[in-house]
Structure 1
């Protein structure tokens, strides 16, 4: 954590220390450890409230996570050629309107992706963001988008190795074209638009070539469409450091 925040703050030690303190406080208040453990220990724990709200037990959290994951809007599946986990995100599969539960589910999946990468000796993850089926009506509120970015940038800084954007709607491409000049150069190099054969080449290379891509990637990002359909019930029973469809 110190090194990640040090790099994120461009070597500013004072800023890095402050950032670490904020992240540690956020992890405590958001009960990250409890969220991560909830599927392993489903007993009604009473850890006390941190924000004055009603206490949410581990059983409650497990139920929330399973509900949020029903449509497969976020899950971890397969690895790049080095061993970094892929976390698939499908905004078009949004199935709830609870901002806090959405964030709990997001944090659980990030933690899972990180654990999957760590067991292979890497601290970063790969994001596959597939916009198939996405419509403006399914766009999250601005507050949700802002909180998602805040969590990713502030509390999981230096965790993203690459982000692959699949089936981007025209409005998204137009928006990115406008903001691209203001995006940090390092972050800019990590974003790949998987549109057409040329656009898919980066992710195909990252998994070790076409033969590997066909067998382990989903169709949206270079697979042949013959890999197993995601099963949420099976997935949510897996150990934290095991991705979907991975041999245990």
Structure 2
């Protein structure tokens, strides 16, 4: 017996806009609060300004939020990276990240810039480049210390991924990768590696979306299966809060929609505790689906060829998850059983 409403929209993982400081409007285009809705050209100008105010190191790490650019950067020679073409691509990819923040903050330049730089620092602190590259270390020219670090990343991720708690499998009809959650497969709640495992797969989903859509889409679809979920599968509130806050602060606009299926009463109790930590301004991103509405919702969202049977009747994604194949054989920007 499930405890969810038949079809209820609630909260999002995306950055909320309610945390902006209350400041007086300025007439300048780059003021903190704008008195009018900005045009596309004005928003683009703000994005250009944000890039100009980055250091070269920050600009490079912002551009590396694109996996396609990251791989090109780490496999290009010094002379290739000094070319006009490479520099233009770096600026383009860095601006793409900047634009997500300026759009999230509705043109509030000061707040968007602060959030943007903080997100770049977060990417460096979490070594998201290393997490994305560690299973391809044999293709890279690495120093001994980095090679040893990547080996440790591989070991920890390989240990955690055996259960298939979360992985990327299939695409929706718009080319967004599906970040799939099997909530009852939780192995443990190591504070550091629960987060890194989740971010590894989140980044993989973004990379798959970038490749599948040709860069047209930059968000993902999340689908959670809560069959068999019990209270013991609920992460400690500190870990859940940290993960949700990491997404909210550092990945604005990256989650298109979240669908949660078969959520039992035990999860709804957990959700009632977690909900206050999630911004209320964009709650419509997460949808709790009953079995009655599942077929209707997913028929519009995903083709049978890209869906598991528990998502869509007749779904053909039936292959049992193989973590070794997922981590070692499949390129980072390709999903499982694709």
Fold agreement, TM-score > 0.5: yes
1:149 and 2:248 aligned: no
1:103 and 2:204 aligned: no
Cα deviation, residue 141, structure 1: 1.0
SS in 2 for 1:230: coil
Aligned to 2:160: 68
Q: Which digits, 9 at most, give the CA deviation of each residue in 1:182-215, with x for residues without a partner?
A: 8535x333222221232442222011xxxx33x3
SS in 2 for 1:95: coil
Cα deviation, residue 148, structure 1: 0.7
Aligned to 1:59: 151
Matched-pair contact (CA < 8 Å) for 1:5–1:157: yes
Matched-pair contact (CA < 8 Å) for 2:306–2:315: no
Distance 2:335 2:113 in 1: 33
SS in 2 for 1:137: helix
Q: What are the equivalent positions in structure 2 for 1:181-192 lying under 5 Å apart?
A: 184-185=280-281, 187-192=282-287
1:195 and 2:286 aligned: no
Distance 1:88 1:99, change over 3 A: same
Correspondent of 1:81 among 141, 162, 173:
173
- Report which structure shows greater RCO (CA 8 Å, sep ≥6): 2
Matched-pair contact (CA < 8 Å) for 2:134–2:153: yes
Q: Which digits, 9 at most, give the CA deviation of each residue in 1:128-178, with x for residues without a partner?
A: 111112111121111110111011111112101110101111244467689
Aligned to 2:120: 24
Distance 1:228 1:44, change over 3 A: farther
1:9 and 2:105 aligned: yes
How many aligned residue pairs are there?
232
Cα deviation, residue 109, structure 1: 0.5
Matched-pair contact (CA < 8 Å) for 1:45–1:58: no
1:232 and 2:326 aligned: no
Which shifted more, 195-204 or 114-123?
A: 195-204
Which shifted more, 104-113 or 189-198?
A: 189-198
Cα deviation, residue 44, structure 1: 7.7
| Structure 2 unaligned blocks of 5 or more | 1-96
SS in 2 for 1:240: coil
Q: TM-score, normalised by structure 1?
A: 0.85
Correspondent of 1:46 among 116, 125, 145:
145
Aligned to 2:312: 222
Distance 2:323 2:117 in 1: 35
1:37 and 2:133 aligned: yes
Matched-pair contact (CA < 8 Å) for 2:262–2:291: no
Q: What are the equivalent positions in structure 2 for 1:131-210 lying under 5 Å apart?
A: 131-173=226-268, 184-185=280-281, 187-207=282-302
Distance 1:45 1:105, change over 3 A: farther
Aligned to 2:337: 245
The CA RMSD measured in Å over matched residues stands at 2.4
Distance 1:233 1:118 in 2: 23
Matched-pair contact (CA < 8 Å) for 1:167–1:194: yes
Matched-pair contact (CA < 8 Å) for 1:89–1:129: yes
Q: TM-score, normalised by structure 2?
A: 0.63
Distance 1:131 1:174 in 2: 14
